[in-house]
Structure 1
């Protein structure tokens, strides 16, 4: 079910599907509800009722002209849960969405049944963003004025070389990336929010059962970030995908869905 949900003075586009306990899916920079991909969502459908949405200014949600912070995006997520009538939910955030999920779990621990943090970043000492050459290549693609070149550049940076080398994977990614708008102005605002993000010193206060997933061929946010986060959150489990890039759920949809489903089930019915 696709709908527009009023959140304060704006409206967010939301897609709900599947059955079972609610799982709030929080996308990363430039990502939309479509960025989860049908293979991953289909694998979740039998066990979890997924809630995917477009951040402010992205996809089919209302435009955003003013700067915002990661905390502001976490407030959007909490307001969305309120609007949908969920006192609590399992939460999965990837990349920038993982930063939002960290702030959500710290701000409202009683709302988070379990936490999955994928290919994300905490800020603080030891954390690292993409290398300058990766950022330059990505920026050149975005500013080229050639939409397909920009998407192709982002694709090749965000997936592993082996995955990108198989041309059979490209059409589905291109269709996803062109299905919903991601204005460059909003992406720049998201980048500003990411630059100010720093939760490392507070991660020890997270009480939700936590799964951390990271591909060890990630160029956008190197796998050392996942190690740092898993070490900082009490009881967190780190799952590393060998030879997988930033978009691990896109490269390994069934494996990722199985991990997330088991993690949510374990949090709902602890041994």
Structure 2
């Protein structure tokens, strides 16, 4: 158990010009510890297009997944409208440089939510709790009792629900581009986007299902204080979809959690700064103690 209810805020300045490294992050007014990063460039060795799709049957659907690397497992939970093997009309949720860095140290798994990409959908109306149940089922189907989990955007919401409903399957948890609900005033851009897609009859059934699941979800706020895992929240300071104050609010509810804010980066910043995001994830996952030095 973590002995203190304190949130440590780390500010990481992502340098996006000629240098990939970051130094001399200023201390904030509260005097909380600051982190600096000097990430070395990594060659792109992971190719999603050249990675074979595999399948696992979970909770009455067949989920498509991909894997890279070896070592301790990490499950990636993708965001709204994302598909791992994207086509020209969609945006890939996981940058290949980011995947290369993460899979250089860990056995990384990524999959498409039910009804998206190569994954099937049954006649059960999807909800965020069902997506979380799918994540727990996927961990078991892959032969593990538990995994580290990295969720971004809607994947962060799913990961929050996962650790609340199925804490036994989660080791460490990284939440990227976060909100505890799509229906709060701070996330009005997100809410408007979801509402538009939910009402778009030309959108795919899986995409509309994701939009409706997010809109109907009551959120995780009441469950955040009960999370007893090492948790890192990551957000870009230029994120207008899930703005950084929401991640700070959430961190205040999660005992001993980390907040990493990348200056000037938008929603799902690993697409813009994959080296910094990849190195940040590896550092957190490889740290043997919680931020407060309590286990």
Counterpart CA distance in 2 for 1:33 and 1:267 is 30
Q: CA deviation at 1:251?
A: 0.8
The one of 173, 180, 189 equivalent to 1:115 is 173
The one of 249, 264, 273 equivalent to 1:228 is 249
Q: CA deviation at 1:225?
A: 1.5
2:225 corresponds in structure 1 to: 204
TM-score by length of 1: 0.78
Q: CA deviation at 1:132?
A: 7.9
1:77 corresponds in structure 2 to: 135
Query: Superposed, which structure 2 residues align to 1:122-141 within 5 Å?
Result: 122-123=180-181, 128-131=186-189, 135=193, 139=196
CA contact (8 A) 1:44 1:257 kept: yes
The one of 19, 23, 26 equivalent to 2:70 is 19
Query: Superposed, which structure 2 residues align to 1:3-152 within 5 Å?
Result: 3-34=54-85, 35-64=93-122, 66-123=124-181, 128-131=186-189, 135=193, 139=196
The one of 190, 194, 199 equivalent to 2:214 is 194
1:7-46 per-position Cα deviation (integer Å, ceiling 9, x unaligned):
1321000101111110000001111224202111011121
Alpha carbons of structure 1 residues 52 and 127: separation in structure 2 relative to 1, 3 Å: farther
Structure 2 runs not aligned, ≥5 long: 1-51, 86-92
Counterpart CA distance in 2 for 1:67 and 1:232 is 30
CA contact (8 A) 1:113 1:267 kept: no
1:238 paired to 2:259: yes
Which structure shows the bigger proportion of residues in helix conformation?
1
Q: CA deviation at 1:190?
A: 1.0
Q: CA deviation at 1:58?
A: 0.2
Q: Which has the larger radius of gyration?
A: 2
Counterpart CA distance in 1 for 2:288 and 2:188 is 32
Alpha carbons of structure 1 residues 127 and 109: separation in structure 2 relative to 1, 3 Å: farther
Alpha carbons of structure 1 residues 57 and 267: separation in structure 2 relative to 1, 3 Å: farther
1:254 corresponds in structure 2 to: 275
Q: CA deviation at 1:185?
A: 2.6
Structure 1 runs not aligned, ≥5 long: 146-182
CA contact (8 A) 2:182 2:190 kept: no
Counterpart CA distance in 2 for 1:269 and 1:106 is 19
Counterpart CA distance in 1 for 2:267 and 2:167 is 27
Counterpart CA distance in 1 for 2:190 and 2:164 is 31
2:28 corresponds in structure 1 to: none
Q: CA deviation at 1:81?
A: 0.7
1:216 paired to 2:201: no
Counterpart CA distance in 2 for 1:134 and 1:125 is 10
TM-score by length of 2: 0.72
Counterpart CA distance in 2 for 1:7 and 1:117 is 23
Alpha carbons of structure 1 residues 143 and 75: separation in structure 2 relative to 1, 3 Å: closer
Q: CA deviation at 1:133?
A: 9.9
CA contact (8 A) 1:127 1:224 kept: no
CA contact (8 A) 1:124 1:199 kept: no
